[in-house]
Amino acid sequence: MASYFDHAATTPMSKAAIEALNQQIGQLGNASSLHTQGRSVRKAVEEARESIARIAGASPSEIVFTGSGTEANNLAIKGFYWKRLGEDSARNVIIISAFEHHAILDPVEWLEEHEGAHVIQIPVTRDGIVDLEALRDIVDHNRAKIAVIAVMHSNNEIGTIQPIKEVVEIAGDIPVHTDAVQSFGKVEFNFDQLGVTSATLSAHKIGGPLGVAALILQRGIDVTPILHGGGQERDIRSGTLNAPAIVSFAAAAQDAELHRVQRYAELRTMRRYLIDAIRAVLPDIWVNGDIEPSLPGIANITFPGTESDGLLLLLDAEGIASSTGSACSAGVPRPSHVLLAMGLSERDARSSLRFSIGASNTRSEIDHLASVIESVVDRARAALARQ
């Protein structure tokens, strides 16, 4: 039996999204062309834009389509940094939470190494929430020098939802970017109401296709572009629009939104079922970031005395897919920076595995996991003990 518990990495495309993709991929035309075919594709793209905007609580002109969530995050971080530094050479400070996704962490680190940025990380609590008092302090001390603040809307490894409204309040007139890749379509997300300056969405996390995403950027706000060459998207992002993927993204967003509340409840129940099933055989496990509000399907579990890549290998052999967090470019597993930021020891961070549940999972898949987890953990413990 194959049990896929890695929906936070990517999740199956919804039927609606596949249909939309199939339909649009046969259509001729470049959305930038002025003739009939071009206009026809443009129309499909603009309808998709409007639909995504409506679901995300933004206006259509605020949606900038990109080739990935990673690209959208890069555009926001580097774009704000260069734009605001250009306006005032004192503004070289970037503030991010300590447990951002690598699609934020890495561009920020790159700016620090190559572009003179000064980075300050906001600590996170043991529960996995950014420390607002610390943020207030950091902002008070650096206000005039801050280029941008980035705090993710929800954390991809542990699922906790962040107090973005409060972050925006503290930031005042400093731009706030939020990586909402994991939240959009799964929990309530409204760009306008949050008051952030920009946000990232990605299609493949909500049943859309891979390789299409969006940066929502407040009207009237400009960032320095990274890609030049045609200016298709508000002159902020260039490249021929991937119309089939965009149309499919919109279909996935509609489907996700339509079922969001019901799915949230279902996934939350399934997640609890999974945790209880594992705990029944392994009482010494614990769940990281087990608080409300959270993404419905993520369970990040520490199995003390194990090495998570050993667990992953053994579970994979049983047909069970899980995740150890991030790996470096060569594929070497690393202890999760998210768990380390929350104050776990390196040892415990290396003993943790993420299960992320999606709409396709069944109770019998979880029962299957529960039936093998004890022997898997026993072997992983033996492996670590021998080192």
Please name which of 92, 72, 97, 69 lies closest in space to residue 81, comparing C-alpha atoms.
92
Which CB sits closer to another protein, 1 or 90? 1
- Distance, in Å, from the CA atom of 295 to the CA atom of 318, rounded to the nearest integer, reads 26
Shortest reach from residue 324's CB to another protein, in Å? 10
Measure the CA–CA gap between 309 and 304, rounded to whole angstroms.
Answer: 13
Please tell me whether residue 102 binds another protein under the rule CB under 8 A: no
Alpha carbons 123 and 107: distance in angstroms, whole number: 19
Residues 351 to 380: which contact another protein by CB under 8 A? 379-380
Residue nearest ligand PLP (C-beta atom): 69
The binder of 322, among ligand PLP, another protein, none, by C-beta within 5 to 8 A per type, is none
Instruction: Provide, rounded to whole angstroms, the least separation between the CB of residue 328 and another protein.
Output: 7
Q: Which residues bind ligand PLP (CB under 6 A)?
A: 68-70, 73, 101, 103, 152, 156, 179, 181-182, 202, 213
- Which among another protein, ligand PLP, none contacts residue 309 (Cβ within 5 to 8 A by kind)? another protein
Q: What DSSP string describes 160-229? A: BBP-HHHHHHHHTTS-EEEE-TTTTTTS---HHHHT-SEEEEEGGGTTS-TT-EEEEE-TT-----SS-S
> Quick one: which of 2, 34, 144, 385 contacts another protein (CB under 8 A)?
385
Which of residues 182 and 300 has its CB atom nearest to ligand PLP in the complex?
Answer: 182
Q: Which two tokens stand for residue 212?
A: 């299409």
Direct distance between the N- and C-terminal alpha carbons of the chain, in angstroms, rounded to an integer: 32
* Exposed / middle / buried, residue 280 (Cβ in 10 Å: 0-12, 13-18, 19+): exposed
Q: Which of the residues 295 through 334 are near another protein (CB under 8 A)? A: 309-310, 312-314, 316-317, 327-333
Residue 2 touches another protein, criterion: CB under 8 A: no
Kind of pairing, strands 198-202 and 176-179? parallel
CB-nearer residue toward another protein: 36 or 387: 387
Indicate which residues carry an active-site annotation. 328
Residues lying near another protein in the complex (CB under 8 A) are found at 309-310, 312-314, 316-317, 327-333, 379-380, 382-387
